[in-house]
Structure 1
Amino acid sequence: MTTPQEELLPATRRALLHRIAVAQAEGRAPSLVASVVRAGETVWTGARTSVDGHGPDENVQYRIGSITKTFTAVLVMRLRDEGVLDLGDPLEKHLPGTGAGEATVAELLAHTAGLAAESPAPWWERTPGSLRPELTDVLGERPFRHPVGRRHHYSNPGYTLLGALVEELRGAPWEDVLRREVLEPLGLSRTSGRPTAPHAGGWAVHPWADVMLPEPAEDLGRMAPAGQLWSTTGDLARFAVFLVQGDDRVLSAESVREMRTPAAPPETADLAAGSAYGLGMQIVHRDGRTLAGHSGSLPGFLASLMFGVEDDVAAVVLANCTSGLPVLTLATDLVRIVAEAEPRIPEPWRPLPEVDRAVLELAGQWYWGTYAFGLRLVADGGVSLEPLTGTGRGAHFRANGDGTWTGLDGYYAGELLRALRRPDGSLSHLDLGSFAFTRQPYDEGAPVPGGVDPDGWRGFR
């Protein structure tokens, strides 16, 4: 249920309905259902269908294709957070004998392992998984298409390997692990490997005539971790909230933030399209905003889940057609409609709780050479360092609890920020990844690398 503050305005609701109505009509989808989430709550659900009086709702299952990969990535990140593996580990360390063992776990997650995009023929999405009972059947005789780690090349077999890795380290089938560790804790009771009623049937719509053909719904077997799941807009809306906020029963907010951080070098086409890939998540830049999530397709179905963290809005779109409907664009449009029509109302300003005076002393203006920056204290003990002149490298920093901070974004992501003091306890300068930030440009009272000319600043004569 939504509170009055969370309900969308009638004009916004109509704009959302209009958008999916146009998409269903122009895309000739037998049915389409969509949901929008704002501030952690589902605030709108809409549907369009070719069957009079029989519209799907948020409880009807559709196949979600490659959104399954994000679920598989969550399982792998859990193993990382537990210390069972490191993302830099080669696959061979934990799952020997695959023939692709030189690729690291992170490279598999980010599709930079150099593996083939698909398994050997026949087309795996329209044939039973029993045709590929072993990993060697999925990878084929020539699993690599590119040097490991050199480029982003989307790979379904790569996620088959990650599913096998989960099974090896958990000692249980991938789907059982997923249900126990993710679906049940998050309350995703309508997400499953096989369809459960009510569910939509998958259809192919003829490209040149308004006629349809039923698509097979195959059990993908070994390929399941790449695209097997069925779900609903209701469940995926809850999953979207988790991908924004985290849930300590499954993954921390920091770990889901890591998943949606670009981890793969974009291809030229990706740069032109404003897209990138993280660890099991797509990242797109549209209309001046950054969104993350994943799209999916299998014969008969199209799906997309996208969310904008800054706007605190997510959208889910599910349809039962093989092609014709740009679901990723549709999902990002639903986010845009809400974000533009009803901009997020910021939380009231509140003063920080008790602040360490030694930390408060750091606030204010600093210089890296002649570049001016301002350091501001933020919530949870963090700080931000932003350029004051419009040029320069800014970043937000997380407090480490020992008087240091670690960069969270931009050029300084992962870099250490320290405040250094003189023997008498007075503040000398900030050290950020070897860069000295001083209270004055090239402050002669601080250890500026290369020293400061003893004659100081001067005019031109």
Structure 2
Amino acid sequence: MSAADAVEVVLAHPSAPLGAVAGIASAHENSVSAGGSASLDGRTVTTETAFDLASVTKVAATTTMILRLVAQGALALDDTVARVLPGTSCAPETTMRDLLQHRAGLWEWQPLYLFDDAASSTIDALPLRYPPGCERHYSDLGFMLLGRIVARVVGTSLDAAFESLVAKPLGLSRTGFGSAVGPVAASALGDAAERRMVETGKPYPVLTPRRDFPWREHEIVGVVDDGNCAHAFDGVAGHAGLFSTAGDLLVLGSALARPHEHPELWSVESIAEFFRDGPDPGQALGWRSDRVHIDGRPERMLWHPGFTGCAFGVIPGAGASIVLLTNRLFAADPVTTEVLWRAALPEILGPQGRPDEGTRTP
């Protein structure tokens, strides 16, 4: 296993990002390595560089906070959304579990900052896109709702809830919402990707006729890249907005992979419930799932990618956590985060670390 080799492979990829950090933490190894540039001016990436995690926020922050609330008895997975957060567009029978499994029938995405009403009001007024409870449709809007639910249950803002429920108990000093503190990697050149989605209506139709917007065109450094999080939620939302370092994520991942070491946070049973696949193969509660091999043994991996080029995984059977942080959007022809993640895994986990085919979740 070699984090350094993983970084080398990623930076040698035909669609290489500017820079990368890779790491693994297990009972036998704790290794983090970095290489390349953090920004267009050539500033060096180090192991202490923070990255915009994008959708990794869904598991590292929102799902983990819900896990803590469930372990505390403050929330139940089969509570209906309507009981905790009345007035949404969710069907009356839709539960927390449905939102975590992306089965609530909500829209995948909309540019909420282009609508006339506030973002939360817009989400609540949108019609369902799919029949609820029938199949998985990955939804940013569902995790925006989950972020609001966490804030409602805790009785504070979402960023303060993350600090009290996750960051402070685990000593995550470089992880949080809002503007990043300390060395941070650039994430994108303006709103180019989101502007293209709005102008083309691909991959999702846009439900508002408005197209004009003061799009960002500068290098985005230290503030969130995701348009909805940046423009509609002031940098704090359930689907995106978290910044972190490889070291902090490995601490979090290790606590999730070895729950018996943290009975004050969660139980082995609650972790097992969150890590179990639901009706849709490859989708647990919040987390995606795969099977990998370590030392010749098949192991189950829970993981999640982020649009900016970051990915985070937990391997409970090996008591291990793994991370890859990149600024992939600066490549001349960017590939998806999953492509870079799967290129790095055999180096991080060893030659047999490639996930099994057929387990991928779209």
Q: Please give the TM-score of this superposition, normalised by the length of structure 2.
A: 0.75
2:4, 2:33 within 8 Å by CA — same for their partners in 1? no
2:98 to 93, 99, 107: 107
Percent identical residues:
23
Q: Answer yes or no: is 1:58 the counterpart of 2:65.
A: no
1:308 lines up with 2:308 in the alignment: no
Q: Does 1:331 align with 2:341?
A: yes
Residue 88 (structure 1) aligns with: 78
The 2-side partners of 1:289 and 1:77 are apart by 22
- 1:363-378 to structure 2, matched below 5 A, reads none
Task: Report what 1:291 is aligned to.
Answer: 301
Whether 1:44 aligns to 2:49 is no
Matches within 5 A, 1:293-442: 293-297=303-307, 301-322=308-329, 324-340=334-350
Deviation (angstroms), 1:54 = 3.9
Equivalent position to 1:178, from 138, 159, 162: 162
Q: Is the 8 A contact 1:284 1:290 kept in 2?
A: yes
Name the SS of the counterpart of 1:225 in structure 2.
Answer: coil
Q: Distance in 2 between matches of 1:225 and 1:138?
A: 13
Shift of 1:255: 1.9
Aligned in 2, Cα 1:131/1:40: closer, same or farther, shift over 3 Å?
farther
The 3-state SS of whatever aligns with 2:31 is strand
> Partner letter of residue 239 of structure 1?
L
Q: Contact 2:3 / 2:33 at 8 angstroms: preserved in 1? A: no
Cα deviation, residue 108, structure 1: 0.6
CA distance in 2: counterparts of 1:69 and 1:13, whole angstroms: 24
Query: Structure 1: how far apart are the matches of 2:349 and 2:21?
Result: 20
Task: Report which of the two has the higher share of strand.
Answer: 1
Say whether residues 1:257 and 2:272 are aligned partners.
Answer: yes
In the alignment, the residues of structure 1 paired with residue 126 and residue 32 of structure 2 have an alpha-carbon distance, to the nearest angstrom, of 48
Aligned to 1:404: none
Find the aligned partners of 2:155 and 2:68 in 1 and give their Cα distance: 15
Contact persistence 1:188–1:235 (CA under 8 A): yes
Q: Please give the root-mean-square deviation of Cα atoms over the aligned residues, in Å.
A: 3.1
Aligned to 1:236: 249
How far did residue 312 of structure 1 move? 4.3
- The amino acid that maps onto 1:243 is L
Aligned pair partner of 1:136 in 121, 125, 131: 121
Distance in 1 between residues matched to 2:258 and 2:321, nearest whole Å: 12
8 Å contact kept, 1:291–1:332: no
Determine the C-alpha separation between the residues in 1 that align with 2:96 and 2:32.
Answer: 38
Q: Residue 21 of structure 2 corresponds to which residue in structure 1?
A: 33
Structure 2 distance, partners of 1:79, 1:59, is 30
One-letter amino acid matched to 1:112: R
The structure with the largest helix share of the pair is 2
- 1:221 and 1:183 mapped to 2: Cα distance? 21
Aligned equivalent of 1:406: none
Q: Which residue number corresponds to residue 168 of structure 1? A: 152
Secondary structure of residue in 1 paired with 2:238: helix
Question: Are the structure 2 counterparts of residues 221 and 51 from structure 1 closer, same or farther at C-alpha, using a change threshold of 3 Å?
Answer: closer
More displaced, 35-44 or 79-88? 35-44
**Contact (CA 8 Å) 1:313, 1:339: kept in 2 or not?**
no
Q: Does 1:214 align with 2:224?
A: no
What is the match of residue 287 of structure 2?
281
SS in 2 for 1:43: strand
**Against the structure 1 CA distance between its residues 238 and 152, is the aligned structure 2 distance closer, same or farther, given a 3 Å change threshold?**
same
**How big is the shift at 1:332?**
4.4
The answer for the alignment partner of 1:18 in structure 2 is 8
Q: Distance in 1 between matches of 2:117 and 2:238?
A: 14
Number of residue equivalences? 308
